[in-house]
Amino acid sequence: RNDPEQMKSLSKELFEVTYGKGVTAQEREDFLVRYGCTGWNDQVLKTILEVSGSRGIVEMGAGHGQWARALLEAYAKQKEESSLSSPTGKSRRNFDFVLAYDDNSNLPLNTHIYNPYTKPHHEYFGNVRKLETKNDMLKVLRSWACRGRILLLVYPPPGDMATQVVKKHIEAGPE
């Protein structure tokens, strides 16, 4: 108990079990700030944009919105590049390409620490619409704003949320 070396060893072992070999608690938190629970790369974003086409995306369980923001930035870049190469320079009207929703019940980062006044919030977090209940999530999927969009579930929480959301999404737009 009073042995600093033993405590250091135990702490290292705990971090390895919790975060992975060679990953510190700070590195894991930095990852969560930037990406959320699961990371992406440019190819992943490109593939999602290719699959979604011009239909847009609805993300459920969006957390702090890092994926939504990354997808919006990739979409804006893609749109800008295509308008530069377009002979007319005209493009479709602007719309919210990614609609992100979360009920904030399973956020990996403390919203009192990472609030709208912090640098991480401004640099990495996206616009996530707050839902009060799981029922609100299911209602949103039936709304006109979400019809025809690609459903994105990046890291759904344990339980039946993902199954319910997929079922409601299919029921809302069986095309």
What's the CA gap between 30 and 14, in Å, rounded? 18
Q: What is the pLDDT along the chain (175 residues), one digit of tens a residue?
A: 688 888 888 888 888 888 888 888 899 999 999 999 999 999 999 999 999 988 999 999 999 999 999 999 999 999 888 777 665 555 555 679 999 999 998 898 998 999 999 999 999 999 999 999 878 988 999 899 998 999 999 999 889 999 999 999 998 876 5
| Identity of the amino acid at 129 | R
Among candidates 68, 78, 93, which has minimal Cα distance to 152? 68
* Cα–Cα dist 172/165, whole Å: 10
> Residue 60's Cα: distance from chain center in Å?
8
Return d(Cα 150, Cα 133) in angstroms, integer: 22
Q: What is the pLDDT of residue 14?
A: 86
Q: What's the pLDDT at 8?
A: 85
Q: What pLDDT score does 85 carry? A: 65
Residues 6+ apart with CB under 8 A from 39: 31
Look up the pTM and report it. Answer: 0.85
Dist. CA 40–CA 72, nearest whole Å: 14
